Structure 1
Amino acid sequence: MARLFQPTLSPSSLLLGLTLACTLAACTPSAPLPLADQSLNLGTQRDAQATQPFTGEWTVTGKPDWLQVSPAAGQGAVKVQVSADRGVATPLAADQAALTGQIRIEWKTGEGEAQRGTATWTVKADQYVLKGRLREEAAAQGQDLRLGAGPSARSPRTGQARGVIVKYRDVKGAFVGKEGSAATVTQRAGETLRASALSVTSSRPLSTDTAALQVGDVDAALRILRADPRVEYAVPNALLHAQTLPQPALAQPLEPTDQYAALQWPFRLLGYPAVWRDMEGGAYSRPVTVAVLDSGVRYDHPDLEGTLWKPGEGALDLLADPKNGDGDGTDDDPTDPGDRNRTTGSHGTHVTGIIAARWGQNTPSCVGCSLTGVVGAVRRANVKVLPIRVIDVAGDAAIADVALAVRYAAGLPVTLEGKTRINPQRAAVINLSLGAQVSADTARPMCEAIQDARDAGSLVIAAAGNGYNTTPYYPAACPAAVAVGSVTLSGGSAPKHAVYSSAYAAVQLSAPGGTDPSLDPGTFNGGVFNGQPFQDLILSTGWNYAKGQPEYEAEAGTSQAAPQVAALAALLLSKGVTNDPASTLARLNATATDLGAAGRDPLFGSGMINAAAALGAPAISDTLGLRLQDSRGLVFQPPVDALGNFSAYLGDGNFSVVGGRDRDGNGIYGETNEPRAEQSVTLGPAVPQVDVGDLIPR
């Protein structure tokens, strides 16, 4: 029987075999792992590092605006810094306790389709919390409570006294009357007065030595009693008055009824319904001229009839080149000629209408044209616009022309075509809705002219520029000019900075200029036009050059913000609140609604002008509300419950929290002329939650 042979392996042979197997396996390496999805929770931190082992190339190809990722690409292991700017993603209602966003990273480990892909990293960030309570001193409701008429500050006069009060020096011994009997103090005083033929209708003792007497002639009674050596004093029984604090007497807002006036939201935002009611008293009587240095104006627009200085009255076309559009060089007719190929309307006509468009019925001008149109800020005030044409049909204005026009508008002599001209309608306010990003040296001739105008008594208002950046625009940045930035509606109880409005240190004030329809197509004004929500644009007079007829146009820009300030400056002068450039500018700044960072800042300047506060217009509303804004101008409107409690989930930063009343009906609480309670709060990783307590406007 055969035996099977079974070889045996020594330990050294076994070790050799294992080593060989391992070496053979290393010759076929495993495929690199793909980049995997993962999550990152920032909690309340502003930034954190995210890592993942990886072999290959990777690039960040997508992320939300509120997240920053650095670096954005690399090779090998992914190691990035993720930072959160929570504020830009915080909704208006500030009601999201946490934000989430996704970072998309494309990767590849080779050239084949199987060696590339996309990973999604999900980031969560907790919001910071602001709490508080908005409340009044006391509140009640009922049907049997009547509001008083208000306090009386009347001073008591002798004629208001009910008789006299007399005190005798010594009553230890009894008085002796005419019949020889003891007399009371009232009898003694009565006998003294009757002895001088004065009637005493009633009397009563106040103490053993003092009496009150009702007499026919108070002055005579006082003279007689004071002449008696036994009398310590005699005084009128004067009337006192209840000292009651007034309830605010609310005036009725004055709202225009012109066809498109309801869409002119800037006037409501600035408190003009209260101002227009104030004009009913006739106080705006001082004559003021506002010079509009622009593309000219359409005198034939019916909504500007009677509001402009005409050719021969000081109006001027300063463009010397016969090719400037009207073909006749410098003359007294600043009509904006345009051309039939122009797709936009008349810039100067639009700016002018913001200031001075008529109220009420217009002269019929064309089939289908509005008979009432829009309204201007100055209404019935004694304010007129002086058109001066410096912008040609291409939309350009030369620095030399602007410098000449500014001096002319201010009433300074200028030489045109060898002749000296002096403006017969010196402008107290000059509006420049024009500008460019030029150097200070290049702008020097223009800035010198503006300084000359200021010295001559004219306040020069200029558009800050639509640069979408922080580069100064001239002439707005000239030292003697007032640079005006633009705000638009936010949907909350404060306006926000318009994205296009240039922000730099020279910006002094802000005014409504409208939204950018492409980048920020807001429709917060609540208006509806032809069945569609009306965008937050500035509606004013315009001109249709293709049809050769008047129309109305909705535009946006700092060109539209500047005339809002020019109009208010003119009204301050017309009412007599101010009387020169310095006092007018001081009043505009002092009554502006501070927005964004506390105090003056490059976004808003001193704040948005407030017409109602500046002009001391009567209160037309009295509602309580909350205003919340960060130092960048972002606006938030957290809900307030029936007890006044509010909670806001916010990003990091500095915040202004205002509880206040709205007295001018513009929906902004706690402005300069209104009761307010304000707290400044800083939120961030170090202070993730703040309770401001009670906000009680006073």
Structure 2
Amino acid sequence: MRRPPARLTAGLLVLLTSCQQLNSAGPGRYAVTLGAARSIPVAVPYTGTWTVSGVPAWVSVSKTAGSGPISFTLTADRGAGTPLAADVDELRGTLTVTWTDPGGRTGTVRWPVSADEFKLTGRVKAGPAVQGTDVRVRAVPNQPVQAASHGMIVTYRAGAGLGAQGVTARPDRRAAATLSARGLAAGATTRLGERSAAVRVADVDGALRALRADPAVESVTVNRVLHTQATAPTLATPVEPTDQFAPLQWAYRLLGYPAVWRDMQDHPYTKAVTVAVVDSGIRYDHPDLQGRLWTPGEGALDVLEATVDTAGTGNGDGDGPDTDPTDPSTPGRTASSHGTHVTGIIAARWGDNGATAGCAACSRTGVIGATNTANVKVLPIRAIDAEGNTDIAQVAVAVRYAAGLPVTLDGTTYTNPHPAQVINLSLGGAIAAAEAQPMCDAVTEATSAGALVVAASGNGYGTTPYYPAACPDAVAVSSVTLSGGSAPRRATYSNAYPQVQLAAPGGTDYFQDATYYNGARWDPRGDGSSEPFVDAIISTGWDYTRNAPNYEVEAGTSQAAPQVSALAALLLSKGVTTDAASTLARLTGTATDLGAAGRDDVFGYGMINPVAALGAPPVSDTLGLRLQDALGRVFQPKLDAVGRFQAYLGDGTFRVIGGRDRNANGVYGEPGEPASEKTAVLGADSPAVDVGDLTP
């Protein structure tokens, strides 16, 4: 006879009877049920050895192996198991117990595990058409006043006395009696105060004459009809690039750049700005970067010593510091040009890039850069060798030089003729703060010289500060990627720590947790195939095997940092800001707050918001829901026909935002967009919460 599984619950630990105890026959099958609890102790008698494996992603166990009684604590992280749609009221999974009895016999058994989810309900409701106090009287030319009124508002004189002809001393009754005595039909009356009342009346002109004839009346005005204004924003037409790989560049859509490019086209960004990219150098021969770079002789510099790499074979170009920061070819090199990739995110050309017939495999249009037609140029500074390495001293020298401070290399003094207003550092390492001090000193000097120093927070999958991003005067940038919902999520590799100030799209780790939410398809092999494009960043690259330009896909905080640098440059080029301090304040003040409310270690002040920062025009106007927990995980329950939603979630604190999307990026209620936000706390003590109406 088949026995039902024993149940281990949070409130009661059920042990087997003697005939069911774990013995030479191996452990039995159990159902471990947490219910609403977060943790449950598991204790089962046994005399052999055992291991626990195959644990669901939303479950952790305190001990995974032992001998004798099976004993561990099982803890649920419900948020990790909640699906995007938040439509499952109970999480279910199994864990595997592998056993070996004293006689050497082995076996496995699977134990079901379940946990209740908690319920969140509410409604996203379209708000009134009036925006703020934007109300005006509608003029009705060439028509009598009755067509734009709801009657009269009458105010009686103080001390005049309202009791006349037996009427109680109330202004609404006095007014109605006066009109009735003149043969005028009075409709509904509303008392507005001790001496004032509104009276509905059809004959407005007659009522004016009758009330003004009463000596007790101080004033009579028409109760004008007011109408809502700006029932919908005037929408601009977004600018959509036509370059071959632009449809794959989802990060610009997430940041709302089609609206920014419309603003740029209608109101050119003309102030000259230099962005220094301190990196592995550049490929000047990439067609998509022509005309967007300061060249040798215009301030570009290679600061590397003749030998800096770990192999001791030189820095890759066979010489020391000079004015040519080309990222060189080396024997057997296969890695792409990191500096070329970072630069393309900021400044790749739009449209026909002039690729010639001599490069048959080259795209004639390629990718696009965020700065488009703005008067922005990149200053390449080579500080990373052909192996991808640098050191503290080389970075410190490069930062000082980028900011316009003189540096002396091998006896030659160099001064940058185009000091950078923005310095991008897509590099770093997990070094001690004391060791990083010389680099941090350089960042401080560059900041004092007027530069905004932007640095990648690091790809360490943890919370260890990376330098130079963690330097006090640097702007540390973490990475986000698409979630499938109406907000991005933290990229798993992105380091989180207190110095993080901003987040930007850096893409998914396509080796470990690749996602394909951007909806684009491509032909990676050029054979006519069509495959989903991973949520990573495509930009300019270099094929060192063929020694030819190409376009490569990468992901990391190295790709997030130049998104911030590009926006900083645009703020300065448009003239929204004038220096590093005002630029940083604008970046943080307009960022889209993600995860926990306020600044946090994961996203800093939030994801950069180019549309809000630059004041670009709205290009869409849709209503929707944004739902995140304090860790930044995103959930997207469905809205029914009238905007109601029902979500089954784990325990924790949730930000529930009903808002409008005005920049067509699918994120509702960002800065500059109408929003209504509420907070919900779910758990065993509050298993169901209704947040009511969210009316942006």
Same fold? TM cut 0.5 = yes
**Alignment-derived partner of residue 133 in structure 1:** 123
Deviation at 1:65, TM superposition (A): 2.0
Q: Is the 8 A contact 2:23 2:47 kept in 1?
A: no
Cα distance per residue 1:443-476 (max 9 Å; x no partner): 1111001000101100000011111111111110
**Alignment-derived partner of residue 442 in structure 1:** 435
1:367 equivalent in alignment to 2:360: yes
**Alignment-derived partner of residue 605 in structure 1:** 604
1: CA distance, partners of 2:405 / 2:127: 56
Q: Aligned AA for 1:575?
A: K
**Alignment-derived partner of residue 541 in structure 1:** 540
Q: Cα RMSD (Å) of the superposition?
A: 2.3
* More moved, 412-421 vs 625-634: 412-421
Deviation at 1:153, TM superposition (A): 11
**Alignment-derived partner of residue 83 in structure 2:** 91
Cα distance per residue 1:591-614 (max 9 Å; x no partner): 111111111111111111011111
Deviation at 1:126, TM superposition (A): 1.0
1: CA distance, partners of 2:36 / 2:267: 58
What pairs with 1:157-556 in structure 2 (closer than 5 Å)?
Answer: 244-246=228-230, 247-321=232-306, 323-365=314-356, 366-530=359-523, 531-556=530-555
Q: Aligned AA for 1:128?
A: F
Q: Is the 8 A contact 1:324 1:393 kept in 2?
A: yes
2: CA distance, partners of 1:568 / 1:550: 26
Q: Aligned AA for 1:291?
A: A
2: CA distance, partners of 1:151 / 1:51: 68
Cα distance per residue 1:419-452 (max 9 Å; x no partner): 3322110100000011111111111111001000
Q: Is the 8 A contact 1:340 1:545 kept in 2?
A: no
**Alignment-derived partner of residue 558 in structure 2:** 559
Query: Match for 1:121 among 93, 97, 111?
Result: 111
Does the residue aligned with 1:589 lie in a helix, a strand or coil?
A: helix
Q: Is the 8 A contact 2:47 2:102 kept in 1?
A: no
Query: Match for 1:70 among 62, 71, 75?
Result: 62
2: CA distance, partners of 1:129 / 1:533: 34
2: CA distance, partners of 1:409 / 1:596: 35
Q: Is the 8 A contact 2:654 2:679 kept in 1?
A: yes
Shift of the 151–252 alpha-carbon distance from structure 1 to 2, 3 Å rule, reads: farther
Shift of the 154–694 alpha-carbon distance from structure 1 to 2, 3 Å rule, reads: closer
Does the residue aligned with 2:485 lie in a helix, a strand or coil?
A: coil
Q: Aligned AA for 2:439?
A: M
2: CA distance, partners of 1:404 / 1:589: 28
Deviation at 1:318, TM superposition (A): 1.2
Cα distance per residue 1:228-263 (max 9 Å; x no partner): xxxxxxxxxxxx998751231000010100010010
**Alignment-derived partner of residue 219 in structure 1:** none
Q: Is the 8 A contact 2:138 2:227 kept in 1?
A: no
Does the residue aligned with 1:447 lie in a helix, a strand or coil?
A: helix
Runs of 4+ off more than 6 Å? 150-155, 204-208, 240-243
Deviation at 1:545, TM superposition (A): 1.3
TM-score when normalising by structure 2? 0.80
Q: Aligned AA for 1:254?
A: V
Cα distance per residue 1:101-154 (max 9 Å; x no partner): 1122122332243xx322322122111111111111369xxxxxxxxxx98899
Q: Aligned AA for 2:94?
A: Q
Q: Is the 8 A contact 2:276 2:378 kept in 1?
A: yes
Q: Aligned AA for 2:33?
A: N
Percent identity between matched residues is 60
Cα distance per residue 1:548-589 (max 9 Å; x no partner): 111111100111000000000000011111111111111101
2: CA distance, partners of 1:467 / 1:31: 45
Q: Is the 8 A contact 1:33 1:55 kept in 2?
A: no
1: CA distance, partners of 2:136 / 2:353: 47
Q: Aligned AA for 2:679?
A: S
Shift of the 327–128 alpha-carbon distance from structure 1 to 2, 3 Å rule, reads: same
Deviation at 1:518, TM superposition (A): 1.7
Deviation at 1:207, TM superposition (A): 7.8
Q: Is the 8 A contact 2:24 2:102 kept in 1?
A: no
**Alignment-derived partner of residue 615 in structure 2:** 616
Shift of the 312–60 alpha-carbon distance from structure 1 to 2, 3 Å rule, reads: same
Does the residue aligned with 1:88 lie in a helix, a strand or coil?
A: helix
**Alignment-derived partner of residue 189 in structure 1:** none
Does the residue aligned with 1:43 lie in a helix, a strand or coil?
A: coil
* More moved, 394-403 vs 256-265: 394-403
Query: Match for 1:46 among 35, 38, 41?
Result: 38
Q: Aligned AA for 2:53?
A: T
TM-score when normalising by structure 1? 0.80
Larger radius of gyration: 1
Cα distance per residue 1:244-298 (max 9 Å; x no partner): 5123100001010001001000000011000000001234111110000111111
Cα distance per residue 1:516-558 (max 9 Å; x no partner): 1121111111110110000011011111111111111110011
Q: Is the 8 A contact 2:137 2:226 kept in 1?
A: no
Cα distance per residue 1:335-394 (max 9 Å; x no partner): 111325221211111100000000111112311211000100000111111111111111
2: CA distance, partners of 1:244 / 1:642: 25
Q: Is the 8 A contact 2:31 2:112 kept in 1?
A: yes
Cα distance per residue 1:650-694 (max 9 Å; x no partner): 111111111100000100000011100111111111111111111
Shift of the 370–102 alpha-carbon distance from structure 1 to 2, 3 Å rule, reads: same
1: CA distance, partners of 2:364 / 2:289: 12
* More moved, 536-545 vs 35-44: 35-44
**Alignment-derived partner of residue 570 in structure 2:** 571
Cα distance per residue 1:609-632 (max 9 Å; x no partner): 011111010000000011111111
Q: Is the 8 A contact 2:280 2:384 kept in 1?
A: yes
Q: Aligned AA for 1:358?
A: R
1: CA distance, partners of 2:552 / 2:100: 54
Structure 2 unmatched ranges of 5 or more? 1-21, 140-204, 213-223, 308-313, 524-529
Q: Is the 8 A contact 2:422 2:568 kept in 1?
A: yes
